[in-house]
Amino acid sequence: MPRAYQGAKTRTYQKLYGYKNLITWQKADDLAAMLHELTLHWGPGYYRLSDQMRSAAVSVKSNIAEGYCRVSLGD
């Protein structure tokens, strides 16, 4: 079950945090939260795999935010 996006009413700067309004960023945030929940109770043999999966999911939303906040069109 997808969780409701909590930051919609957060007061932010127009350009700097506008990426949070992107559907792709919200879906990536949901993915990261879902993976965290799913891997939370994995056994000791899966710590490295769960850490790698969590890092990859967080990287997706970080890359979306970084791309959005670029200054020029050439970037």
| pLDDT value for 75 | 52
| pLDDT value for 54 | 94
With respect to residue 43, please indicate whether it lies within any of the assigned structural domains.
yes
pLDDT per position as a tens digit, 11-69 = 545 556 678 888 999 999 999 999 999 999 998 899 999 999 999 999 999 999 888 87
With respect to residue 2, please indicate whether it lies within any of the assigned structural domains.
no
With respect to residue 73, please indicate whether it lies within any of the assigned structural domains.
no
Number of domains making up the chain:
1
| pLDDT value for 66 | 86
With respect to residue 55, please indicate whether it lies within any of the assigned structural domains.
yes
Write out the residue range of the structural domain in which residue 35 sits: 18-68
Q: Among candidates 3, 6, 8, 23, which has minimal Cα distance to 64? A: 23
42 and 69 Cβ atoms separated by less than 8 Å: no
Q: Which residue, chain included where needed, has tokens 């994995």?
A: 42
The Cα 69–Cα 55 span in angstroms is 21
Averaged over 4-15, what is the pLDDT? 58
| pLDDT value for 49 | 94
The Cα 14–Cα 73 span in angstroms is 18
